[in-house]
Chains A and B, each alone.
Chain A
Amino acid sequence: TQLLEQSPQFLSIQEGENLTVYCNSSSVFSSLQWYRQEPGEGPVLLVTVVTGGEVKKLKRLTFQFGDARKDSSLHITAAQTGDTGLYLCAGVPGSNYKLTFGKGTLLTVNP
């Protein structure tokens, strides 16, 4: 059973479009992170959210942590080709230290 479910698994859009990807769980997380991974590289941390209902913005990217700390979303406004990559969410469930990863959303932004 996958603790963190990411959707959609694949997303292909045109430059300039908006998009939202989701990270859902039935478990409560003490914190949740979003990483972006480009081909041939390791994942790079984008943001960490720790408080239920928290919203963080990183330029055109908006991250939200659900009120119950069981889910998160990533919204990209006016996507650019440079946003192409694999977006991974990862969380620390409850008091268990070990970070758990979702399977990721592979985003392709076409020119």
Chain B
Amino acid sequence: DADVTQTPRNRITKTGKRIMLECSQTKGHDRMYWYRQDPGLGLQLIYYSFDVKDINKGEISDGYSVSRQAQAKFSLSLESAIPNQTALYFCATSDDRVGTGELFFGEGSRLTVL
């Protein structure tokens, strides 16, 4: 089983719908992240959380919200999806005891907004 699990892996939705992407991890890491990947743009940080009570905006948080339900769970919501939110979304974790910020990624959730 994967250490970082994302659901759903693929989702097609319509403009205006609310979408939630879920992430759970078994690595025991405190830090969790949501990234968006678009072709030619690399990985852009949406939100990150250093523990259950700590949520921070990343580079591109507009149009997104997150919830850290437990140390192991971090979900990303699109309240009203729009077509330019079509992208590949990745959840990642890191161990705050290691100062180099190494990330462990899930397998990704491909979202298409029509």
Which residue numbers of A lie inside 8 Å of B, CB to CB? 9, 30-31, 33, 35, 40-45, 48, 50, 88, 90, 92, 97-99, 101-104
A42 with B102, Cβ < 8 A, contacts A98-B45, A101-B42, A101-B43 known: no
Tell me, in angstroms, the Cα distance from A49 to B112 when the chains sit together.
36
CB neighbours (8 Å) of B90 from chain A are 42-43
A45 near B104: Cβ-Cβ < 8 Å: yes
The chain A residue with its CB closest to the CB of B91 is: A42
Question: A98-B58, A99-B101, A103-B42 provided; 11 other pairs, C-beta below 8 A?
Answer: A30-B100, A31-B101, A33-B102, A41-B108, A42-B105, A43-B103, A45-B103, A45-B104, A90-B43, A103-B40, A103-B41
CB neighbours (8 Å) of A98 from chain B are 45, 48, 58, 101
A40 with B42, Cβ < 8 A, contacts A31-B100, A48-B102, A92-B100 known: no
How many pairs of A and B residues are in contact by the CB < 8 Å rule? 55
Tell me, in angstroms, the Cα distance from A97 to B58 when the chains sit together.
12
Is B107 part of the contact surface with A, judged by Cβ < 8 Å?
A: yes
A33 with B100, Cβ < 8 A, contacts A42-B106, A103-B40 known: yes
Within 8 A of A (CB), among B37-64: 40-45, 48, 58
Which residue numbers of B lie inside 8 Å of A, CB to CB? 4, 40-45, 48, 58, 90, 92, 99-108
Task: Say which residue of A33, A88, A92 sits within 8 Å of B42 (CB atoms).
Answer: A88
Tell me, in angstroms, the Cα distance from A102 to B45 when the chains sit together.
12
Task: Say which residue of B43, B44, B48, B107 sits within 8 Å of A41 (CB atoms).
Answer: B107
Tell me, in angstroms, the Cα distance from A14 to B106 when the chains sit together.
31
A42 with B101, Cβ < 8 A, contacts A101-B43, A103-B42 known: no
